[in-house]
Amino acid sequence: MCAVSAYPRYLEEGFQPYDPLALLRLTEEVVCRGEARKYTAFYATGVYGGIATGYTVGCCLRCIFCWVDASRDFPETHGEFYTPAQVVGRLIGIARRKRVPRLRISGGEPALGKRHLHGVLERVEPAGYEFILETNGIPIAADEGYAAELARFTCVHIRVSLKAGTAEGFEARTGARRECWELPFVAVERLLDAGADFHVAAMTDPRLMPQAERRALLARLRRAGYTGWVEEEQCDAYHSTVQRLRAAGWGFSEKSASSNSAPSSPDDVSTPW
Ligand code: SF4
């Protein structure tokens, strides 16, 4: 496993690949404090048919197509700590006011800080709301028992979002070391074994992923034993996305914006780009 000598931010041309497992631990040290985790905002948005959302801080990947604001790259300067009880209180309050039936944590990787997530789910479970857990799968691959622990919550539907179908594609678009590329597929295998309620999404936008890699991704999923729906994502040209693509040396214009819907950024979270 490689050591992370400096905290990885957004990718720039000629970047040094990092170890996503090391980045996971480093980020948890910044964004988790006991049971609490950092958030920057709570709001409702129209995706998933209406969902109350907590915008959390911190991720263990550095995807070039990421729409999340600068809190992903500079977690130490963004957000305030909230306990699970405070988070669930905020989310349910918003869900009641906006009359939406679902809750989620977005803005970063929600599965960082397992104690916090468990505290949230233990409070959501008896409250009668569905909880959508969007994850890149790395934390579930890093912790052998995590998938089974999530599967026991009946309120949870997990959406595992894959970023690549080859080692080279994984490194080029997430910045993480290529030998770690199968970790998200390990997460899929563990969720299958655990009997979790989940589906797979994949950033297969042809502007970013070659068709051969898309085929390799689908084949690797089949080898993992997954035969369900694959939600194929398009890259929407949010300002933060375009700036990250440009910084990494990818030509991508805001005019090439996809009209497909994607998770909404909260209007009140600023980006420093
Ligand atoms: S797209 Fe998702 S997994 Fe990738 S850096 Fe952004 S929040 Fe993390």
Q: Is residue 15 part of a domain?
A: no
The 10s digit of each residue's pLDDT in 104-163 is 999 999 999 999 999 999 999 999 999 999 999 999 999 999 999 999 999 999 999 999
Distance 108 CA to ligand 1 centre (A): 6
Say how many domains are in the chain. Answer: 1
Centroid of ligand 1 to alpha carbon of 231 (angstroms):
16
What pLDDT is attached to residue 254? 58
- Is residue 206 in a domain? yes
Question: Does 144 reside within a domain?
Answer: yes
pLDDT at 226: 98
Token output for 68:
């999340």
Domain residue limits at 111: 20-252
Asked if residue 100 belongs to a domain, the reply is yes
Pick 50 or 4 by higher pLDDT.
50
pLDDT surpassing 50 at residue 60: yes
pLDDT given for residue 258 in this prediction: 46
With a 6 Å cutoff on the Cβ, whether 117 touches ligand 1 is no
> Which DSSP letter does residue 180 get?
G
Domain CATH code at residue 160: 3.20.20.70
CA of 222 to the centre of ligand 1 (A): 24
Task: Look over the chain and give the mean of its residue pLDDT values, rounded to a whole number.
Answer: 92
Is residue 3 situated within a structural domain? no
Tell me what percent of the residues of the chain surpass a pLDDT of 70. 90
| Lowest mean pLDDT, pick from 37-46, 61-70, 136-145, 245-254 | 245-254
Q: How far is the CA of 220 from the centre of ligand 1 (A)?
A: 21
Residue whose Cα lies nearest atom 7 of ligand 1: it is 108
**Would the CB of 109 count as within 6 Å of ligand 1?**
yes
Instruction: Tell me how far CA of residue 236 lies from CA of 53, 120, 205, 252, in angstroms.
Output: 20, 30, 10, 11
With bands split at pLDDT 50, 70 and 90, how would you rate the model's confidence at 264? very low
**pLDDT of res. 6:** 86
Section 90-104 average pLDDT = 98
Q: Within a domain: residue 180?
A: yes
Q: Per the domain annotation, does 185 fall within a domain?
A: yes
Distance CA 9, CA 18 (A): 10
pTM over 0.85: yes
Q: Select from 11, 66, 238 the residue to mutate for testing ligand 1; criterion: most ligand atoms less than 8 Å from CB.
A: 66
Residue 31 lies in a domain: yes
> Among the residues of the chain, which ranges form H helices?
20-31, 84-98, 114-124, 138-142, 146-151, 167-174, 183-194, 211-223, 239-247
Question: Which run of H or of E encompasses 53?
Answer: strand 51-56
Q: How far is C-alpha 137 from the geometric centre of its chain's CA atoms? A: 8
